[in-house]
Amino acid sequence: VEDHPGVLNRIASLFRKRAYNIESLSVGHSHRPGISRMTIVVAEEHKDAIQVAKQLAKLIEVISVTDVTEQRHVSREMVLAKVAAPEMKRSEILQLANVYRAQVVDVSPGSIILEVTGDEDKIDSFVEIIRPYGILELSRSGEVAMVRGRAMPTPTVVAEEGPAA
């Protein structure tokens, strides 16, 4: 998408008008100036997802839409979890963190903030394993995805207007 104010609102409005629930949304700058990349996860039938892709491509700021579901791809999500960590439980929590290859990003008296990156199942599993220790705060990013290999993703729909790719 073009990196302009209001683009996210127009895209979210399209989903709202069609009563599609966005399960995950991630937006950030791409390697091309003025272009952002969105990863949107919806739990819809394939035919409905194709219809949404066609509707998205009609928005003027949308450059292309790609459904990576059927393509070889990698997807990741990130979670920051602030866990209650009294001195007597801290080493136990750190051992669990090590199993999930979590990064310790902050240690304070009584709590630890851990960062874990992985697929949805890994993140869900990590959250459940630390839950008994007391989750004080939790923030999950939206899923991001990329087609594997050197090939560029095959667009599901290419927008009729917009800057050349």
Tell which CATH architecture fits domain 73-144.
2-Layer Sandwich (3.30)
Per residue in 97-113, pLDDT (tens digit) is: 999 999 999 999 999 99
For 75, how many CA atoms within 13 A lie in the half-sphere containing its CB? 23
Phi, psi of 137 (to 5 degrees): -150, 150
Contacts of 41 (CB under 8 A, 6+ apart): 22, 23, 24, 25, 142, 143
Contacts of 67 (CB under 8 A, 6+ apart): 46, 49, 50, 53, 156
Q: How long a stretch of residues is the chain?
A: 165
> Model pTM?
0.77
Q: Do domains 7-70+150-158 and 73-144 have the same CATH topology?
A: yes
Domain ranges of the chain: 7-70+150-158, 73-144
More confident residue, 162 or 82: 82
The matching CATH number, chosen from 3.30.70.260, 3.30.420.10, 3.40.50.300, 3.40.50.2000, for 7-70+150-158 is 3.30.70.260
Hey, which residues does 118 pair with through a beta bridge?
77
Per residue in 32-58, pLDDT (tens digit) is: 999 999 999 888 777 777 888 888 888
